[in-house]
Amino acid sequence: MDKVYDIIVLGAGPAGLAAASYAGRARMDTLLIEGTKDGGQIVITNEIENYPGSLEEESGPSLIARMTKQVEKFGADRVTDTIVDVELEGKVKHLKGNHGDYYAKAVVIATGASPRPIGCPGEKEFTGKGVSYCATCDANFFEDFEVYVVGGGDSAVEEAMYLTKFARKVTLIHRRDELRAAKSIQEKAFANPKMAFMWNTTIEEIKGDGVVTSMIVKDTKTGETREIEADEEDGTFGIFVFVGFDPKSQLFEGKLEMENRYIVTDKYMHTSVPGVFAAGDVIVKHLRQVVTACGDGAVAATEAQHYVENLAD
């Protein structure tokens, strides 16, 4: 068997980086595994205003760069690999990657989740330049502008109402002729004077020049398309997408308790398997923000440390 680490942290977004920092600082022999690059969803965020202590010029990449330096400072090993299978039962956990096998007494899963995209041309190009997947993160940048929200479930309607605190008008775009959100939430939305609704509509293309300036929408019943352009004085508008998230949890299906594909943990980040902890957007939770991900990671690493220290030889 190869080297057995005290703790392996899987994923290098805010939750994983926080966990690796805490584990390394606690003098745990720690390995951080990331499949592509550090940062997770936060690296697509141009500006961060609501992370405690962030400066006005703070961006997702700059915050992640500082977190990465902390991990290095506290001595965690790093490897880039894609994990394709896991064996989590027993005292030694086994993670099988494309480039090697990794073993540890405890594992912190911080693989994150991805917002489900619309899937139309222009969406990727204008993410962070008018297209957003987080109202709490980006609402402030659209104060007194028009914004459009895509979706019809609880999250979409709730986020749309949150955006009315900032935008002068919020239009909810839904592919059907009625919302899927709870009736109580719908009633509040219909009563909000800043809310408008665009039924039986999908976004077919997003256009712009540096920032979003227009979009092509289609009537799902007639098939007709039309272009919606930004107000001339504004020059842009916001498109907030809330059509669901995809947790990166496929590896753990049938091996950990899950709820709607999210990993179930207790308040101490313990999963259903001893020695396996989870943190951040991959777990069942209410608020998916950088600050809560970091908190999850800190708790998970501390609990993993206690588990390893109390593990009988």
What structural domains does the chain harbor? 4-115+245-309 (3.50.50.60), 131-241 (3.50.50.60)
Query: Which residue, among 130, 158, 159, 12, has the nearest Cα to 79 in the 3D structure?
Result: 12
% residues pLDDT > 90 (the chain): 81
Query: Which residue, among 262, 246, 276, 236, has the nearest Cα to 88 in the 3D structure?
Result: 276
- Residues 113-172 pLDDT 10s: 988 999 999 999 999 999 999 888 899 999 999 999 999 998 899 889 999 999 999 999
3-state SS assignment for residue 67: helix
- Checking if the pLDDT of 19 tops 60, the result is yes
Q: Which residues are catalytically annotated? A: 134, 137-138
Q: What is the pTM of this model?
A: 0.75
Cα angle for residues 43, 45, 47 (degrees, 5° grid): 125
Q: Where are the beta strands (DSSP E) in the chain?
A: 4-10, 30-34, 77-80, 83-87, 93-97, 101-109, 113-115, 131-132, 146-150, 169-173, 195-198, 201-208, 212-219, 225-229, 238-241, 245-247, 258-259, 262-263, 276-278
Mean pLDDT of 242-268: 95
- Residues 68-124 pLDDT 10s: 999 999 999 999 999 999 999 999 999 999 999 999 999 999 999 988 999 999 999
3-state SS assignment for residue 109: strand
